């Protein structure tokens, strides 16, 4: 990304976050903030059943399990009463649907028991200044789900050519009713980055609203996850991050956190 330059203070925070050395306590905190995810084309009921078992760790449950819409009902039944939230995606992975198609997809996953809906921000339309406005897709999920459903907006940060546009997209998502801003689908060449995270977290801080942050897309190692946690709390305050405000989307990361 180019254009708007990150200021010296933010660059220092990013540098410090990148050098975070996680200890057992931090790893334990992160376990409770994991969105355990499987979004592969070859996912099977057997694979999802194992994922549901893995979500209940010796240190306690992860925050949520994220699966394709066709597995929502299965995951909901398997994890009933555990405290693990059921998350899924709509308009995934390219964010090219209309508000009407997004609305219908959202209605279907809520009927199956989804508690968190991750909608891809229509970044292509936004960058092209196209119609209908990008905000309408987010509003469609918000309006269907009401405030009992957590709406997580995937910005796909790697698609943005500069920080100014990413800043504005983050603002639009929050203005449209996002409960969380998320970095990436994990389906593009460029996933999460601390620089993009710093932009998103700063917008969240400046909004004054209870909006959470999720890092996803290439977060596979414990130091990477710890860096995002450290960055979030350096911008939003120590202790800000809980399972209600901060998530790491991952699959292979969980056993590494447990090992630490």
Map tokens 């969105």 to a residue. 35
Q: Give the number of domains in the chain.
A: 1
Whether 203 maps to a domain, the answer reads yes
Whether 179 maps to a domain, the answer reads yes
Whether 222 maps to a domain, the answer reads yes
Whether 182 maps to a domain, the answer reads yes
pLDDT in tens, the chain (260 residues): 444 568 999 999 999 999 999 999 999 999 999 999 999 999 999 999 999 999 999 999 999 999 999 999 999 999 999 999 999 999 999 999 999 999 999 999 999 999 999 999 999 999 999 999 999 999 999 999 998 999 999 999 999 999 999 999 999 999 999 999 999 999 998 999 999 999 999 999 999 999 999 999 999 999 999 999 999 999 999 999 999 999 999 999 999 999 99
Instruction: For residue 37, give its domain range.
Output: 8-259
Here the CATH number for the domain that contains residue 190 is: 3.20.20.70
For residue 108, count CB atoms less than 10 angstroms from its CB and return exposed for 0-12, middle for 13-18, buried for 19 or more: middle
The closest of 253, 210, 206 to 228, measured between CA atoms, is 253
Axis crossing angle, helix 194-207 with helix 8-18, rounded to the nearest 10: 120
Whether 3 maps to a domain, the answer reads no
Whether 2 maps to a domain, the answer reads no
Whether 40 maps to a domain, the answer reads yes
Q: Is 31 helix (H, G, I), strand (E, B) or coil?
A: helix
Whether 56 maps to a domain, the answer reads yes
CA distance 239 to 122: 32
């Amino acid at each position: 990304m180019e254009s708007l330059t990150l200021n010296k203070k933010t660059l220092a925070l990013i540098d410090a976050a990148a050098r975070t050395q996680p200890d057992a306590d931090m790893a334990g905190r992160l376990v409770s903030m994991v969105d355990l995810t499987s979004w592969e084309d070859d996912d099977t009921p057997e694979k999802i059943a194992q994922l549901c078992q893995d979500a209940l760790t010796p240190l306690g449950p992860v925050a949520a399990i994220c699966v394709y819409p066709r597995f929502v009902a299965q995951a909901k039944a398997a994890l009933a009463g555990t405290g693990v939230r059921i998350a899924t995606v709509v308009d995934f992975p390219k964010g090219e649907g209309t508000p009407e198609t997004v609305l219908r997809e959202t209605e279907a996953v809520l009927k199956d028991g989804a508690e968190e809906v991750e909608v891809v921000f229509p970044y292509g339309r936004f960058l092209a200044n196209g119609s209908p406005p990008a905000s309408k897709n987010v509003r469609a999920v918000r309006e269907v789900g009401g405030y009992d459903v957590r709406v997580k907006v995937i910005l796909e940060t790697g698609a943005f050519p500069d920080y100014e546009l990413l800043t504005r997209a983050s603002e639009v998502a929050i203005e449209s009713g996002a409960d969380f801003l998320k970095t990436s689908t994990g389906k593009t060449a460029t996933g999460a980055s601390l620089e993009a995270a710093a932009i998103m977290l700063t917008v969240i801080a400046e909004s004054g609203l209870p909006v959470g942050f999720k890092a996803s897309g290439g977060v596979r190692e414990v130091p990477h996850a710890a860096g995002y946690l450290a960055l979030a709390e350096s911008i939003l305050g120590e202790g800000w991050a809980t399972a209600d405000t901060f998530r790491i989307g991952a699959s292979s990361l969980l056993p590494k956190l447990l090992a630490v």
